[in-house]
Amino acid sequence: MMNASADAPAGDVSVIVPAAGSGERMGAGPRKPYLTVGGEPILLRTCRRLHELTDVFEIVVVAHPGDIDQIQQELWTDLHAVGVELIVPGGQTRAQSVWNGLEVVSAKAEVVAVHDAVRPFFSLDTMRALVSTARRRGAAVPVSPFLDTPKRLEGDKILETVRRAGLVRTGTPQVFRSDLLIEVYEYRMRTGELSDRITDDSQLVEAMGAEVAAVLDGDFNIKITSPTDLRLAEALLAAGLVE
Ligand code: CTP
Ligand code: MG
């Protein structure tokens, strides 16, 4: 197996892959990143795809502390072959996990992307667009139109209908100039906490008043969250809608 660090990668993009969640909505069994889709562990599939981008010189996986021994024994060779340089333990919240990854990102990184381990079908073209937009504007996130009628709920009662105009859904990869992402995380560490209300990285940039650019994403960048998503992922692959 080829050693990823041996082929002197030329890029300046480091990718943090948070994979340290407990997968509560998926239910019992191995944690989500180690379930297979198309016969391959989801985490490996995601990293393999990231490695296709020539700008990416390093992938940092943030894993659940309880999974690290097993990854090292069973998955490290394959992960390292597709550009994974480091595996670090995650924290109680996604933001804490991302911070743990950010702390070990190489000083060579001009741009840092954060991409959920459980989104194996992200579009390479979208990611290229996100990287070039982030270089120019500091921060870029993928968006898709919000097609349903959004409502706010309290218990089982609808409180109100939220105006749909201007609403989008966002996911990952989210891409940042590294100095900006480090600054917003350090600021948050000093002034607040990395609570579970921080569900993406962009919101920390937004909270500082800095600009985040939106890049239109495709339709198939699903986040594998529930058992239904796992079946949907297999169906998308079988239908040839994703690779
Ligand atoms: N994540 C993480 N550290 C956490 C929580 C989440 O690295 N403390 C990661 C997950 O592993 C996943 C991504 O963030 O790749 C998106 O989170 P989500 O889909 O919510 O995964 P889980 O938190 O594992 O699932 P659940 O919320 O159902 O427990
Ligand atoms: Mg979660």
The predicted pLDDT at position 3 comes to 46
Closest ligand by atom to 223 CA:
1
Q: Decide whether any atom of ligand 1 lies within 6 Å of the 202 Cβ.
A: no
Q: Which atom of ligand 1 is nearest to the CA of 19?
A: 11
Q: Decide whether any atom of ligand 1 lies within 6 Å of the 129 Cβ.
A: no
The predicted pLDDT at position 8 comes to 53
Grouping H, G, I as helix, E, B as strand and the rest as coil, residue 61 is: strand
What whole-number distance in Å separates Cα of residue 202 and Cα of residue 145?
A: 17
Tell me which residue has its CA closest to atom 13 in ligand 1.
116
pTM of the predicted model as reported, rounded to 2 decimal places: 0.95
Q: Which atom of ligand 1 is nearest to the CA of 119?
A: 15
C-alpha closest to that of 81 among 7, 17, 31, 14: 7
pLDDT tens per residue, range 104-162: 999 999 999 999 999 999 999 999 999 999 999 999 999 999 999 999 999 999 999 99
Q: What is the mean pLDDT of the chain?
A: 95
Q: With the CA atoms of 197, 199, 203 and 204 taken in that order, what torsion angle do they form, in degrees rounded to the nearest 10?
A: 70
Q: What is the mean pLDDT of residues 162-186?
A: 97
Residue 9's pLDDT band (boundaries 50, 70, 90)?
Answer: low
DSSP character at residue 236:
H
Instruction: Show Cβ contacts of residue 243 under 8 Å, excluding neighbours closer than 6 positions.
Output: 121, 237
Q: Decide whether any atom of ligand 1 lies within 6 Å of the 21 Cβ.
A: yes
Q: 48 C-alpha vs ligand 2 centroid, how far in Å?
A: 23
Q: Decide whether any atom of ligand 1 lies within 6 Å of the 178 Cβ.
A: no
pLDDT tens per residue, range 200-235: 999 999 999 999 999 999 999 999 999 999 999 999
Does pLDDT of 178 surpass 90?
yes
The predicted pLDDT at position 92 comes to 96
pLDDT tens per residue, range 80-93: 999 999 999 999 99
